[in-house]
Amino acid sequence: MNDFAGKSSETRGQSDPEATADLPTPAPLTVHSSGMKLLVGVVSTVGRYREHNEDNYFVPGRKSVRFDAPSPPEGSGETVLSSLDPSSNVLFIVADGMGGQQAGEQASKMAVELIPRAVSRRLGAEESDPKVVQGLIRDSVADANQEILGCSGAVAEFSNMGTTVVLALFQNDRVFVAGIGDSRAYRLRGGQFDQLTEDHSLADALSRAGTITKEEVANHKFKNVLYLYLGSKDARGGPEEVRVLDVLPGDRFLLATDGLTGVVQDEELARVLQSCDDPQKAARVLIDQALANDSKDNITSLVIHVVSGTERATG
């Protein structure tokens, strides 16, 4: 059984004049397993400086609820707490569109719609060979890249559009993590907080080459200039790396755009993840912290808690 059946569609917050807020919010999805389950919370907002939210995300069985107000009112249509069974191949995606307004929004929307479909087509219910799964993730992202490139070339208003993408595919007691661009994935395990993906900005490339120090990256003029993203010919092979990690109860994961990670230090990200036992609350607190730090971008925070199958959601 593949857990990609819920099609990714999009709902905006009530402050958007084109809102479809009358659409019902689905009841929390709860699928229990005898081993582990995933508790998920997510918030996406336009922030204080942009006119449109060009971020998008994919959570199985959920609508992508994105807000065109800096801080969504409590309970105003956010993606509510979900509980998912990792034995069923559970995919999460966060994407940050580029190209300005309609173009960036279209690119990120295509990413969160096309990648789940492509993975679902390729991933058999019994497929467990890690190398096979890594390959099908690369191929699925490469397919989305080709579609975005084609749309960019065919539709004038989408010219030069692109998007970052970061994804996590949970399969039983392991997770496959990949990213293109500068949206990031992290894991908190006990007191250890690790960035699982690599940024593909020119500043980070200079740092890896030893031209500048790691400390200089944050304020470098090329920090936000990406050399690899969906919608570029260089991404035609998909992610450069698909990491395979073990998963244990107690692990906490974060997928986020640089509207969050670019302004909130890793130490603070870890503190919030550690202190909030409700992933939806953690996602909101992280958004609020990014706004307090004067983030000038759209902000998306997707938090995943791995718990034992006997634990229950609290949100």
DSSP string, 284-307: HHHHHHHHHTT--S-EEEEEEEEE
Extract the tokens encoding 103. Answer: 């173009």
pLDDT of the residue at 147: 96
How far apart are the C-alpha atoms of 90 and 107, rounded to whole Å? 22
Q: Summarize pLDDT for 89-126 with one digit per residue, the tens.
A: 899 999 999 986 679 999 999 999 999 999 999 997 67
Give CA separation, 134 vs 111, 128, 160, 175, 177, in Å: 18, 10, 28, 11, 9
SS3 call for 268: helix
SS3 call for 217: helix
CATH code, residues 10-20+27-308: 3.60.40.10
To 10 degrees, what angle do helices 130-154 and 101-122 make?
Answer: 150
Extract the tokens encoding 299. Answer: 């902000």
pLDDT of the residue at 215: 67
65 and 77 in contact (C-beta within 8 Å)?
A: yes
Q: Delimit the domains of the chain by residue range.
A: 10-20+27-308
Give the mean pLDDT of the chain: 81
Which of 131-135, 221-225, 255-259 has the weakest average pLDDT? 221-225
Round the CA-based radius of gyration of the chain to a whole number and report it: 18
* Ranges of H-type helices in the chain: 101-122, 130-154, 202-208, 258-261, 266-275, 279-292
Q: Summarize pLDDT for 158-200 with one digit per residue, the tens.
A: 888 999 999 999 998 999 999 999 999 999 999 999 999 999 8
